């Protein structure tokens, strides 16, 4: 029992430094065209942002300013995709305890008012903003489209007469 506990502590002590420096996915958004955006954080990036304690009246970055920064970034990021966005949420999340580090996750949904009555899914997107006002640059990837399935061969309508 003592050996097992020692072994577990050894493994844990070896893994903790790696976990502390790992890049963690904070947010992931995917557009209908298959483009995926992963917003990743690391300890070194968080150090750039000011700390904030929730007992203080206001965070260093005003939520409205964070929203404006996120909208400008999203418009630039999705330029040419012909998508209009509406603000849907502003969330302040703690990502570190000592010192307290926070990020905004600014959510947007596709504005479908130009389509008239709309039935069906809409696109959504979340932009991650540090309290410094810096935007977390996403890792962008593209989902491969599946290979088209060839059409089935025509069905036979019975025996084919011999060719003459």
Task: Establish if 14 belongs to a structural domain.
Answer: no
Query: Higher confidence at residue 72 or residue 162?
Result: 72
Task: Establish if 115 belongs to a structural domain.
Answer: yes
Question: Exposed, middle or buried: residue 106 (CB in 10 Å: 0-12, 13-18, 19+)?
Answer: buried
Paired residues of 106 in beta bridges: 90, 127
Distance CA(22)–CA(17), nearest Å, equals 9
DSSP class per residue in 46-103: HTTSPP--TTSSS-SS-HHHHHHHHHHHHHHHTTTS---EEEEEEEEEEEETTTTEEE
Task: Establish if 1 belongs to a structural domain.
Answer: no
Task: Establish if 155 belongs to a structural domain.
Answer: no
Print the domain residue range for 124.
21-142
pTM above 0.85, yes or no: no
Per-residue pLDDT of 50-98, as tens digits, reads: 888 889 889 999 999 999 999 999 999 999 888 889 999 999 999 876 6
The greatest distance separating any two alpha carbons of the chain, rounded to the nearest whole angstrom, comes to: 94
Q: Prior bond to 99 cis, omega within 30?
A: yes
Per-residue pLDDT of 136-151, as tens digits, reads: 889 989 877 555 555 5
Q: Which two tokens stand for residue 147?
A: 């290979």
Counted domains in the chain: 1
């Amino acid at each position: 029992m003592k050996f097992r506990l020692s072994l577990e502590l050894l493994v844990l002590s070896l893994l903790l430094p790696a976990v502390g420096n790992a890049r963690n996915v904070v947010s992931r958004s995917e557009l209908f065209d298959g483009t995926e955006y992963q917003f990743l954080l690391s300890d070194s990036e968080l150090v750039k942002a000011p700390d904030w304690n929730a007992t203080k009246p206001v965070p260093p970055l005003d939520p409205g300013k964070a929203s404006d920064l996120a909208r400008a970034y999203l418009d630039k990021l999705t330029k040419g995709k012909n998508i209009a966005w509406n603000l849907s949420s502003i969330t302040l999340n703690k990502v570190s305890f000592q010192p307290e580090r926070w990020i905004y996750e600014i959510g947007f949904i596709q504005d479908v008012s130009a389509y008239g009555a709309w039935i069906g899914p809409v696109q959504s997107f979340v932009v991650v903003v540090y309290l410094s006002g810096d935007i977390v640059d996403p890792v962008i990837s593209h989902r491969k489209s599946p290979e088209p399935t060839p059409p089935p061969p025509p069905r036979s309508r019975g025996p084919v007469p011999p060719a003459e």
